[in-house]
Chain A
Amino acid sequence: MKTFTYRTADDVSGGLEPGATFLAGGTNLVDLMKLGVATPDVLVDVTRLGLDQIGDLPGGGLRIGAGVRNSDLAADHRVRRDYPVLSQALLAGASGQLRNMATTAGNLLQRTRCRYFMDATMPCNKHAPGSGCPAREGDHRNLAILGASPSCVATHPSDMAVALAALDAEVRISGPAGERTVPVTELHRLPGDAPERDTVLEHGELITAVDLPPLDLAARSAYRKVRDRASYAFAVGSVAAALQVTDGTVRDVRLAFGAVAHKPWRAHRAEEALRGRPATRESFRAAADAELAAAEPLRDNAFKVTLIRNLVGSVLEGLS
């Protein structure tokens, strides 16, 4: 591991010197440092900034502090009652020990599990820009089918972020230039020709909270994760959904897919295709197809198209 210095952050707008990065739970960053993939000079610990509360928003909804631990967020009674998809997504991720350490913002900012990215001896446009992407021809069974680019086919590994994307969550950001708010669906970038940048955050910007707006239909919501073993594995495909059905017709719906793209994939096209349609497995799958028409699978991951389509049908049927 490269030698680094450590300090605690004094306030949320302190910014960062070049070569510095924020440290929260460390469940991903410290691993990457041990692997030589992340090589920060300075770690700025933000766990003492008091960002660890879940509060009620004045007009309804919740403000989740960036430092709230994943296990605490999953167990919060308001989350479980009003946004069950979020609790389910959190509990589907990692292990009990990791959830006790991992934070809300850290979960959002975790990096891809692409095996080339995780190995500092391999070429990878994300950890060594310009070095190439062996995944496109090599191992990509669990990489992107949507929104990839010639330079990167990585997926975002978070479960929680998929639920937040379905829930219209907003990310509150603080930085040297002030505060701003970004929809969680716009926090992560598509790789394009700059895959080294996962998100729209500027250097020194800090996520302080995630706001969950009031969303009535979220009370009927669910997360379904598919993985290669029963526990402690990243998704090979997942669906977060909320559904409101009246008289057999879809009144409103939220849908997001995980493990298919460089970001949690909000399925706007599928949602549009569903509103006002009969709540049947056929229309659910047709809506999924509308979204997946843009899929560009690689040699070994075309199964994800089928998998997501099936999951959408099954999860929405379960909610209707």
Chain B
Amino acid sequence: MTATTERAVGQPIGRIEGPDKVRGAARYAAEFQVGDDLAYAWVVQSPVARGTLRTVVVDPLVEPDDVLAVLWHGNAPRLGPADDPELAVLQSDRISYRGQAVALVVARTLEAARRAAASLQLEIDEEPHDCLLRVDHPSAYEPEKVNPGFPASSALGDVDAALAGAPVTVDVTYSTPALHNSPMEPHATTALWVNDDLVLYDSNQHPPGVAAAVGALFDLPADRVHVITEHVGGGFGSKGTARPNAVLAAMAAKVTGRPVRLALPRQALFSMVGHRTPTIQRVRLGASADGRLTAIDHKAWGQSSRLFEFAEQTAVTTRHMYAAPNRRTGHRLVRLDMPTPRWMRAPGEAPGMVALECAMDELAVALEIDPIELRVRNEPAVEPESGVPFSSRHYLECLRRGAERFGWHDRDSRPRQRREGDWWIGTGVAGATYPAMVQPSTARASRLPSGDYEVSIAATDLGTGARTILTQIAADALEVPVAQVRVRIGDSTLPMASVAGGSSGSASWGWAVTGACRALRSSSASSATFDSSELVAQQEKDGKHAFGAHFAEVRVDAVTGEVRVTRLFGMYAAGRILNPRTARSQFRGGMIMGMGMALHEESVLDPAMGAWVNHDFAEYHIPAHADLESVEAEWLDEQDDQLNPMGSKGIGEIGIVGSPAAILNAVWHATGVRIRDLPARLDKILPYL
């Protein structure tokens, strides 16, 4: 090796595509120019939660010159079998939830499509529906597995006996509402058929996956579906697989023989593309008087649709967080007349750690032990349920260093002690964790005639900085400056990449990129390809997690119950940080989303109407700038050589894990009010002030 370059990895390089985005030059799925005969599609959604669509009556006098097609199950092309029944659009007369796509209007203009869609008469036989998740639901059942393949339950020792014999116990139920991912860029597809091949400009987190899924529906191999995903304005899991918009656009393009654009309106994102399941979670903890856990019991209820079983892994994190000889986790699922839940940033971990980390705080109070000290006393030596050693675990260091940086040491542990004017002030802490996952990917590195290098992989950049980080990784592996590296991503025809999900993108793609670049350096060929599948398959999967600690200071208005977060601080141990600038943004973004989960975000269900009734950014509240008074993230320099060539752990999701609990614990410390039903709205706090 020659030390020709300063290492690029670890440098705070700005996003490569940043200038394009600022100038408006970056193109998103609904912005590509695809010829002068582009048509526009508008989705007609079911106005009822359950029933049968008998027929669709079209008024031929509405926009007669511009309407090109009105598709519904009675006339839509037949699709091949779908692994994801949500993609079998317009194939059945069954209505499984309110907001389900039941028809599609294609017209020369968006306005004509919309107007014609509004004029359609849907003849529906409506049936009584059931949309409310509850613990005593008669059809609650235990799924065989929870995502992405964990056993639904786990048990060690005798939990009931340990709880019965514990001097101190906590038995609490926390509930979290349905949440919606709400990326800035709505789901959108521009579809066109070139001969018999399909081209999709589509906003998603996994172009090869979308190509395969949509291809299967149209009886095409994946290599005849070309998915272009140059830029993505956020996904948070809701774009992890093909969504109905891609299938509907492709279908409309096939029927009309024109390119078709379908951009879902914001309101449709609240039914058609997924959500985080609401949860109800019972956590029971037993401890000795000196604060050692003798039992942990975590049982979670979630929901899925009639269409298929999506079983979120709500209680799985509890399996490796704390030591306890007796432990049990379990999941129950209720199938309702509602849309299918999907992944949303830290699916399972985010709601699961609300219950566990708030329950730990409640236990610390019951024991009269500092909540950090309680966690110190229950630090496991190995993964408690698998027995596998951690590849690295610096949880306690995060708690201790975070406590120093945040200023925890002189905290009065009693609630409702600090008052400034009308404000009650308090602080809270909670742990954070997220699995360090890696998936097989392939990359290609090539020498360009100019002397520069091109690195290609079918990855996507959701706005996180993935393109930039891959450039840094490639530059180091090639031992050239970043200016000599061009990274091509966002195209399904490039070498196969794994999904931008599970905080695994950088690790998975970076591994393949490193391999390809190293192979190219050690050969005189013009290009080299590297597939990480074998190496990834050989890896031990258990025992690999990022950890962190979240600290919050809140003030609660004694007059109104309003909560404001004055400080939110995260300290993380997440392997090697590849780019401190984009990493800080990822961590802070997760923490802000955690603030939203704790205080603001809530999809409000009207069980009688079978719908979430708030479905735009005016009514579905995410934190506004004014809510962010101080949000800071720092990290430890963690070395872990058992992960991947970069030594990195994923950081896209850990910020939302535990940060809501830290805020809720701080609300309790400020006011003495325990909010166990998220979000902590003022009307829930006010009666107790």
Contact = CB atoms under 8 A, between A and B. Distances in A.
Contacts of A320: none
Contacts of A228: 600, 621, 681-682
Contacts of B608: 134, 137-138
B621 A139 contact: no
A231 B624 contact: yes
Assign chain B's interface to a size class. 35 or more
A199 interface: no
Contact of B627 (A138, A231, A301, A303): A231
B660 to A, nearest CB: 15
B686 interface: yes
Contacts of A6: none
A310 B562 CA distance: 12
B560 A307 contact: yes
B452 interface: no
Contacts of B550: none
A36 interface: yes
A1 B115 CA distance: 6
B47 A121 contact: yes
Interface residues of A, number: 36
A122 B562 contact: no
A113 interface: yes
Interface string A32-55: 000010000000000000000000
Contact of A229 (B47, B604, B621): B621
A232 B559 contact: no
B560 A139 contact: no
Contacts of B282: none
A122 B621 contact: no
Contacts of A1: 111, 114-115
B683 A236 contact: yes
Given A1-B114, A1-B115, A230 B564 contact: yes
A36 B118 contact: yes
A228 B626 CA distance: 12
Interface in A298-314: 300-301, 303, 306-307, 310-311, 313-314
Interface stretch (B191-199, B495-503, B611-619): B611-619
A230 B609 contact: no
B422 interface: yes
Nearest to A231: B626
A234 B619 CA distance: 9
Interface in B572-624: 599-600, 604, 606, 608-609, 611, 613-616, 618-619, 621, 623-624
Contacts of A233: 618, 621, 624
Contact of A2 (B115, B560, B616): B115
B614 A115 contact: yes
Given A3-B111, A231-B626, A311 B559 contact: yes
A115 B619 contact: yes
Contacts of B626: 229-232
Contacts of B422: 314
A118 B609 CA distance: 15
Given A230-B627, A311-B559, 7 more contacts: A2-B118, A121-B47, A139-B604, A229-B627, A300-B683, A307-B682, A307-B683
Interface of A: 1-3, 36, 113, 115-116, 118-119, 121-122, 134, 137-139, 141, 226-234, 236-237, 300-301, 303, 306-307, 310-311, 313-314
